[in-house]
């Protein structure tokens, strides 16, 4: 199937980034949030990053204006009825996602593809809330979505070849570099990256290493483009802790459990870039 119109549910950091990718790639896009205030905040995020693209010469003013013109905002899920692809980017809570997918199942066309941007939850368990799990796939973007090229296209237990292939093809048309994977805990990247980042954080305390030294060591010694502490700050301490807990629950591996230091930071509201303070000050 050819995807012409895209819906994005949730316009926080990830959702706004996905919406930007969609409109910048030429797709009519409907963004949905739960309140007018949040929809306008989402629009402001998209416009701010498009404006930055113009300032840096990556985008012309007409291209920027055309992208903004392709974005429609709503608080009503029924306005996504005409979308060929709907990408969900709400909070990482299974019950919330299942409730949303059950409603999307009712309001969208029978051949629409419903995709979840979950980073750690089971695509198959989300799909079980619908009457057509064969149309549900995972499309895991990475933050920041407009910049990082990877999208994991996740096949659930009942995902059809057509839905998976259409999601993959759309990601390519949107300028991304998709990869196929199956619905296993953490998919590809997070299955490897989360325990590795947790190891790095544990070394901070066990070896009494400063975050600056850790990041300098991993960028200069291991060739990482960004140090682990800076990366966790970018991801968000709360997001990383939640993903770690989900993987630990599924796999039972101790390395998956979030380090106590990150749990304390989350409890104290020290969440990284989004709050202006994490391992570093912003």
**Catalytic status, residue 242:** no
Q: With 0-12 CB in 10 A as exposed, 13-18 as middle and 19+ as buried, what is 55?
A: exposed
Catalytic choice (22, 88, 92, 119) = 119
Q: Clarify whether 190 is annotated catalytic.
A: yes
> Which one from 124, 152, 198, 248 is the annotated catalytic residue?
152
Judge whether 199 and 255 are in contact, CB under 8 Å: yes
Give the CB-side neighbour count of residue 69, counting CA atoms within 13 A.
Answer: 7
Among residues 140, 240, 242, 248, the one annotated as catalytic is: 140
The number of residues making up the chain comes to 282
What gap in Å lies between CA 256 and CA 178, rounded to an integer?
Answer: 25
Residue of 117, 122, 159, 190 marked catalytic = 190
Residues 6+ apart with CB under 8 A from 253: 195, 247
Count CB-CB contacts under 10 A for residue 261. Answer: 15
Does the annotation mark 152 as catalytic? yes
Q: Which two tokens stand for residue 76?
A: 């009503």
Q: Which residues are catalytic?
A: 119, 140, 152, 190
């Amino acid at each position: 199937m050819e995807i012409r119109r895209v819906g994005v549910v949730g316009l926080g950091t990830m959702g706004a980034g996905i919406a930007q990718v969609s409109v910048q790639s030429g797709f009519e896009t409907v963004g949905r949030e739960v309140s007018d205030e949040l929809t306008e905040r989402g629009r402001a995020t998209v416009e701010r990053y498009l404006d930055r693209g113009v300032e840096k010469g990556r985008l012309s003013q007409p291209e920027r204006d055309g992208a903004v013109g392709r974005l429609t905002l709503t608080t009503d899920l029924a306005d996504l009825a005409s979308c060929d692809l709907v990408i969900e980017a709400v909070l990482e809570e299974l019950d919330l996602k299942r409730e949303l997918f059950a409603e999307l199942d009712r309001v969208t066309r029978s051949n629409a593809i419903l995709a979840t941007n979950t980073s750690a939850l089971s695509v198959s368990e989300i799909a079980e809330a619908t009457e057509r799990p064969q149309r549900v796939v995972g499309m895991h973007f990475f933050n920041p979505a407009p910049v990082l090229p990877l999208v994991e296209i996740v096949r659930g237990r009942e995902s059809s070849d057509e839905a998976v292939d259409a999601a993959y093809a759309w990601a390519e048309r949107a300028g991304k570099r998709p990869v196929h994977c199956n619905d296993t805990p953490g998919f590809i990247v997070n299955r490897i990256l989360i325990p590795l980042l947790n190891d790095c954080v544990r070394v901070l305390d066990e070896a009494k290493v400063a975050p600056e030294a850790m990041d300098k060591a991993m960028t200069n010694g291991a060739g990482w483009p960004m140090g682990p502490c800076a990366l966790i700050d970018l991801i968000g301490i709360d997001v990383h802790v939640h993903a770690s807990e989900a993987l630990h629950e599924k796999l039972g591996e101790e390395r998956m459990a979030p380090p106590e230091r990150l749990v304390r930071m989350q409890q104290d509201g020290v969440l990284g870039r989004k709050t202006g303070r994490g391992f570093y000050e912003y």
